[in-house]
Structure 1
Amino acid sequence: MTRNHRLEGLLRGLAPQVLAALVHRHGQFDACEDAVQEALADAVRQWPVEGVPENPRSWLLTAAGRSLVDGWRSESARRRREATAGALEPVVVADQDDTLVLLFLCCHPVLSPPSQLALTLRAVGGLTTAEIATAFLVPETTMAQRISRAKQRVRGARFALPSEAERPERLSVVLHVLYLMFNEGYTASSGPELGRADLTGEAIRLTRVLHRLLPGECEVAGLLALMLLTDARRAARADAAGAIVPLAEQRRDLWDTAMIAEGVALVERTLGTGPVGPYQLQAAIAAVHDEAATAQATDWPQILALYDVLAQIAPGPVVTLSRAVAFAEVHGPRSGLAVLGTLDEDDRMAHSHRLEAVRAHLLERAGDLVAAGESYSRAARMTASLPEQRYLTLCAARLRSRQ
């Protein structure tokens, strides 16, 4: 990892902690985030030259607090806040991590679900507005307006964990946000890198915190298990040149056995102890993959059975897409293509390259190399991820050479 990547990772992890501390103290989400962004920009300019401070979190808190106060002391602000000027002095915030409280604040019920997701990915996940817009398939200007409105709406909200009565509604959104954060880190939606370990690491860290806070919540444990079992394969996902290696071709000796053991243990302790949810089922599917000594030893009938249950309790195009692959492994590629065909008229998949990529894979297995190559090429044109573009383009070229 380069020095710049280490600095970026450090700042990404600290940013939500600093924002949470400022919002806890001052309550004005929008102004606090602007101040944090200024402090991060100062750090990017100064730390490579002067060195990373001994306590980088305190440095950022001080810089952001100073920026916040300077803004409030401007001519127009002073007229509005003369009565509370004494409360605007920078303070030393207790050395505690309020990121989880910030996470629940971003999932406040005054916000619509899309705004909750967008604000959390921006404030806690550290994604840029452009990255979030790509994930939501909307223009960047639209996403910027959505995030700005969301910050205004939570400006006066109480900075505290929700009560037990409020928790179920808020928790489902929090879990979905963490899931999206992890997915964006594991397979970046755009850019030159296949994934972003800093983002997956932060999603896992926050989910661990949530699991410690709510040890009896089966879906929290399920999500943590899913993340661990998935991230355990990260070292084998690309070769030395950075090219994507499909799951079936990965070197399983590179998988993280400690993460797999922890994830499997979570699944075994959790599954069947309470209501079964989608994260538990996805974790169980990941566990079946990870416990197979070879790709050929994978228990596909068990995976398909789990997808059948998942499709009943949490139906959706992504589940259908994955189930089609499992169906093909059990019943043959033509049968899998028939399942996949049910998504052709689903508008939710219209902008996703994954439908074409899976179609190409199944067509190739069925022996239709011409149609498979065309699907690989279409999928390559639809993704903004450069590693995925290269992989899909190479797949198309490989098939053309065989015709």
Structure 2
Amino acid sequence: MAATNTHEAIETVFRIERARLIAGLARMVRDVGLAEELAQDGLVTALSDWPKMGVPRNPGAWLMAAAKRRALDGFRRTKMLARKHAELVRDLEGEQDTSVEDIESAMDDDVGDELLSLIFIACHPVLSTEARAALTLRLIGGLTTGEIARAFLSNEATIAQRIVRAKKTLGNARLTFEVPRGREREERIGSVLEVIYLIFNEGYAATVGQDLIRPALCGEAQRLGRILAGLAPEEPEVFGLLALMEIQASRLAARTGPDGSLVPLTEQNRARWDRVLIRSGLAALERAEALGGADGPYALQAALAACHARARKVEETDWHQIAGLYDRLQAVLPSPVVDLNRAVAHSMAFGPEVGLTLLEGIDRSPALRNYAPLPAAFGDFLFRAGRLSEAKIHFERAADLTSNEREKAFLLRRAAACADGR
């Protein structure tokens, strides 16, 4: 095999195996930063050895063995962590006469738990939400610092510092690199899902910048969700979140016009919705409900998205069912944003005046003081009620609040439509 082809094969294998390697190494050395360095060392060794020896039959096992030997060298050199040193020596001495196939088999024994433990560590509540998202994309997603910076429209130095601080915080916290069990697992799974959905939402409805959507970020969140679903097949909310992301992602191609402008849900060309993703999302929703999670927050949001996905025409949308689902969601996930979305649903089911009544009091919530969708909702309800001059004021207010240029342009067009009386 030519050297160029070998290098391409190595890079491909490493992208596939990277998270798995870091997970196994992190459990062993109890340090995600060191684990990432050791995995990279394994790559460097492969780049040196494989062009001469060829790609091994079980490249993942080869990389793990190389990284573990590098870890042992480091422990020997620094004379640190005597207990771990002894454990590694025993493990590696036992591997000297073991085939790579046996190493691969041993790795597979607990790879699910190892990768799941890495996800729980990267999403640990001891870190800020922003740090959790960056570290998850780095360790699990395998994105470079530059790719993460571009995804969140930040600069590379800021993201690099955020990741370094996150690793240091985890090290200082002396966390156990194990999958949490029982109540602790239930509590921690929420943090993991929160991070994945945050990543998805930033791609689905970008909060800043010129673009309304960043599909690559949505795709990365979906990939993380699928990994998590494979590792935690009995967690209903994992499937609820996966269903929600798949169904929402099915609409990405229809959310913007040829010029990048926003196309509201009610005006989208539903023929452009991805039916494969919709079927995948509906299947995940069925799984969540079968596991007893029908009233979970993510499952309920997925059920809401499913109502739209099942309607081939906007006129077929069952707004009464959507309003009822929002009533249930408000009970399990009370928040001003849910209250706002519930008002929108009720306005569509029962008329704009009902929506305006539900908005009373919501506008006084501190959490929504500078939240552009609130005045946008007021504007829409007032517009549909024929109160155009009032609607115009609210659309302009919403445009002032948004940081997304495409959304701002859309809201200003709605304000202009009020002035034109149409």
TM-score normalised by the chain length of structure 2:
0.70
Residues 1:250 and 2:268 are matched in the alignment = yes
- Pick from 279, 289, 293: which aligns with 2:308? 289
Residues 399 and 122 (structure 1 numbering): CA distance in 2 closer, same or farther, change over 3 Å? farther
Matches of 1:27 and 1:370, distance apart in 2: 62
SS at match of 2:361: helix
Whole-Å Cα distance in 2 between the matches of residues 129 and 343 of structure 1? Answer: 34
Question: Which of 320, 324, 330 is the aligned partner of 2:349?
Answer: 330
Relative distance call for 1:131 and 1:228 in structure 2 (3 A) is closer
**Aligned partner (choices 257, 262, 279) of residue 261 of structure 1:** 279
Cα distance change of structure 1 residues 397 and 123 upon mapping to structure 2, 3 Å threshold: farther
Q: Output the CA distance in 2 between the equivalents of 1:286 and 1:320.
A: 17
- Structure 2: state its 5+ residue gaps: 1-13, 41-54, 89-99
Alignment of 1:152-191 (within 5 A): 152-154=171-173, 156-164=174-182, 166-191=184-209
Aligned residues: 364
Alignment of 1:129-140 (within 5 A): none
**Once structures 1 and 2 are overlaid, which stretch shifts more, 191-200 or 246-255?**
191-200
Report the CA distance between 1:326 and its aligned residue: 0.7
| CA–CA distance in structure 1, aligned partners of residues 297 and 368 of structure 2 | 20
CA contact (8 A) 2:131 2:163 kept: no
Distance 1:107 1:371, change over 3 A: same
Distance 1:13 1:203, change over 3 A: farther
Shift of 1:394: 2.2
- Among 356, 359, 364, which residue is 1:340 paired with? 359
Q: Distance in 2 between matches of 1:242 and 1:14?
A: 36
Amino acid at match of 2:406: P
Q: Does the aligned pair in 2 maintain the 1:218–1:274 contact within 8 Å?
A: yes
Please state whether the residue corresponding to 2:364 is helix, strand or coil.
coil
Residue of structure 2 in register with 1:351 after alignment: 370
Say whether residues 1:237 and 2:237 are aligned partners. no
Shift in CA distance, 133/255, structure 1 to aligned 2, threshold 3 Å: closer
Identity among equivalent positions (%) equals 37
305, 325, 334: which one pairs with 1:315?
334
| Per-residue deviation, 1:179 | 1.6
What amino acid is the match of 2:227? V
Note if contact 2:235-2:291 (Cα within 8 Å) is conserved in structure 1.
no
- Do the aligned partners of 2:19 and 2:140 also contact (CA within 8 Å) in 1? yes
Deviations 1:121-172 (A, max 9, x none): 67657685798799xxxx99x9899857744545x43334334563212112
Higher mean displacement: 304-313 or 183-192: 183-192
Instruction: Give the alignment's TM-score, normalised by structure 1.
Output: 0.72
Deviations 1:282-324 (A, max 9, x none): 1111111110121111000011011101111111112111111
The 8 Å contact of residues 30 and 151 in structure 1, kept in 2 or not, is answered as: no
Does residue 207 (structure 1) correspond to residue 225 (structure 2)? The answer is: yes
Please tell me whether the aligned partners of residues 317 and 349 of structure 1 are also in contact (alpha carbons under 8 angstroms): yes
Q: 1:393, CA displacement in angstroms? A: 2.2
- Distance in 2, matches of 1:317 and 1:28, equals 39
In 1, the alpha carbon distance for the partners of 2:149 and 2:168 equals 13
Q: Aligned equivalents of 2:393 and 2:168: distance in 1?
A: 42
1:248 Cα deviation (Å)? 0.5
Please, which of 390, 394, 397 is the counterpart of residue 371 of structure 1?
390
Contact 1:100-1:206 at 8 Å conserved across structures? no
Q: CA–CA distance in 2 between the matches of 1:15 and 1:390?
A: 42
For the aligned residues, what is the CA RMSD? Answer: 4.5
Q: Identify if the C-alpha distance between structure 1 residues 363 and 33 changes in structure 2 by more than 3 Å, giving closer, same or farther.
A: farther
> 1:270 aligned to 267, 271, 288, which one?
288
Q: Is the 8 A contact 2:131 2:162 kept in 1?
A: no
Tell me, in whole angstroms, the C-alpha distance in 2 between the residues paired with 1:260 and 1:189.
Answer: 25
Aligned pairs for 1:89-100 within 5 A: 100=116
Q: Rg bigger for which structure?
A: 2
AA matched with 2:217: L
